[in-house]
Amino acid sequence: MVRTKVCGVTNEADLRAVERAGADAVGVIADVPVETPREVAVGDAARLVAAAPPFLTTTLVTMPDTPAEAVDVADRVGSDVLQLHGDFAPGAFREIRDSVAAKLVAVVDAEDPERARDVAPAVDAVLVDSVDDSGAGGTGETHDWAATAEVTATLDAPVILAGGLGPENVAEAVETVRPFAVDVASGVEARGGQKDHDAVRAFVANAAAAGERIAGDDAEASGGNRTDDDRTVEEVSS
């Protein structure tokens, strides 16, 4: 099933809306060198992360200049996942991953598939986004999903799809790319970084429905044959 992440949450009311919608993850943005209404202070990011319920995965999105800066802000915020924008080499990503408790996600430009292949072995997941000249996401622009699907099929790491997604197009994106997860920020906003709670619910529901259709199609294509992954807990335990 496809997972969903709502990014750029700036307040606890929006955090609760993400939780109620049934999203798998929430993202807070801190310590970035670009202008965005979604950025919060590092201390506020830590407070939002601490306020999240146990089964909502928290993600810090940041743009450090060095591995040491990445480790420092990750330690200060304490999120479950660290999502990094920046031109780090695979070795630097490995250094960061070895130094933080969080899972590590590398953001790559959808127009640079070789970059995705280079960094995938060094991180826990790759987020494919439409990025601007500064390397930041949140552009609200889609990219070539068919091309991204081809790249996704070649990567060893899970792929998170971002870039111009919203309630109206996330189902098509999921069915085209078949990513591990989808990520939305501006596509579910009312104004100035504040989330539209109805849009958040619709995004999560539409992504989940698309994932269910894919699962049903795959089951039908396989003739309903079960694999080891389909066994129940009781069967595995016996």
**Mean pLDDT on 74-96:** 97
Q: Say if residues 184 and 211 touch (Cβ distance below 8 Å).
A: no
Given 14, 24, 129, 183, the catalytic residue: 129
Q: What global pTM score does this model have?
A: 0.88
Q: Name the average pLDDT for the chain.
A: 90
How would residue 156 be classed by pLDDT, with cut points 50, 70 and 90?
Answer: confident
Catalytic-role residue among 7, 14, 24, 183: 7
Confidence of residue 220 (pLDDT cuts 50, 70, 90): confident
Cβ(220)–Cβ(212) below 8 Å: no
C-alpha of 86 from chain center: 16
Reference 27, options 75, 83, 72; nearest CA is 83
Residue 163 burial by CB count (10 A; 0-12/13-18/19+): exposed, middle or buried?
buried
| Catalytic site includes residue 24 | no
Going by their DSSP bridges, the two strands 189-191 and 194-195 should be labelled as: antiparallel
14 is catalytic: no
Tokens for 238? Answer: 């016996």
How many angstroms separate the CA atoms of 188 and 237, rounded? 42
Q: Which string of DSSP letters, residue by residue, matches 71-86?
A: HHHHHHH--SEEEE-S
Give the helix/strand (H/E) hosting 235. helix 233-237
When pLDDT is averaged across residues 4-21 and rounded to a whole number, the result is: 98
User: Which has the higher per-residue pLDDT, 134 or 21?
Assistant: 21
Return the closest-CA partner of residue 58 out of 69, 70, 45: 45
Q: pLDDT tens for residues 101-114?
A: 999 999 999 889 89
Which of 59-68, 118-127, 179-188, 219-228 is predicted with the least confidence, judged by mean pLDDT? Answer: 219-228
